[in-house]
Amino acid sequence: MRDCRRRAALIESLHEAVFLCGPDGTVLDVNTAFADMLGYGPDKLPYPAPHPWWPGPEWGPDARRAVHDAYRRIREERSGSFTIPLTHRDGRRLWVAGNFNEITDPRSGRLAVGTFRDVTAEHYAIRRESALAAMGQALARAMNMTETLREALAELHRLCCARRVVAAI
């Protein structure tokens, strides 16, 4: 019992979001930073897969594939890191950098302990810089005003993942 209290105190003292997963990937424990980051706290433990913070279909197949790959790695690999999109309980989208390591529990066997760090601002800053560079290259290819508009619209279409982009003059 004393070790459990010591472990709980240690986990709570960390500033990063901490989670503990069982062999099947069920989240068995989280700290307050995890609850603050994602809106899901220890009151509803355990969290079996699919976890409620996983991105919904509106994120698209790439986001869901990245989360499923990270989930598989947590269950199968000894350690690793990843960056994935997640959804806060209130619906906000965020990006997290995660790290995990395997640990062995004498009673339950293999467990994985991991951390999440919110990297949403960094993720979108990189996307903005990439978008600006791509737009600059697209506009540099244009030879006249018609091509400039066509290139700009094509790049906006790609960046926004839009079905249609329209310009009104």
- Same-domain status, 23 and 104: yes
Pair (70, 131) in one structural domain = no
Is 19 inside a domain boundary?
yes
Write the CATH number for 21.
Answer: 3.30.450.20
Q: Residues 20, 74: one domain?
A: yes
DSSP letters, 66-98, are HHHHHHHHHHH-SEEEEEEEEE-TTS-EEEEEE
Half-sphere exposure of residue 105: CA atoms within 13 angstroms, side-chain side: 16
Give the Cα separation of 137 and 132 in Å (integer).
9
What does the longest C-alpha to C-alpha distance in the chain come to?
75
* Confidence (pLDDT) at 161: 64
Q: 21 and 104: one domain?
A: yes
Asked whether residue 83 falls in the same domain as residue 128, the answer is no
145 and 113 in a common domain: no
Same domain, 80 and 37: yes
Are residues 98 and 143 located together in one domain of the fold? Answer: no
Q: 104 and 22, same structural domain?
A: yes
Residue that the structure tokens 């467990």 belong to: 111
34, 105: one domain: yes
pLDDT tens-digit profile, the chain (169 residues) = 566 665 665 556 567 899 999 999 999 999 999 999 999 999 999 999 999 999 999 888 999 999 999 999 999 999 999 999 999 999 999 999 999 999 987 887 889 999 999 999 888 787 778 877 877 887 788 888 888 888 778 777 777 666 787 877 7
Query: Taking the model in full, what pTM does it have?
Result: 0.74
Pairing relation of β-strands 109-118 and 93-105?
Answer: antiparallel
Buried b (16+ CB within 10 A) or exposed e, 153-168: bebeeeeeeeeeeeee
What pLDDT score does 137 carry? 82
Q: Which domain holds residue 131?
A: 123-160
Q: Is 113 helix (H, G, I), strand (E, B) or coil?
A: strand
Residues 23 and 41 in one domain: yes
Count of the separate structural domains present in the chain: 2
**Per-residue confidence (pLDDT) for residue 75, from 0 to 100:** 94
Q: H-type helices in the chain, by residue range?
A: 2-13, 32-38, 61-76, 120-141, 145-160
Block residue for tokens 């990843």: 82
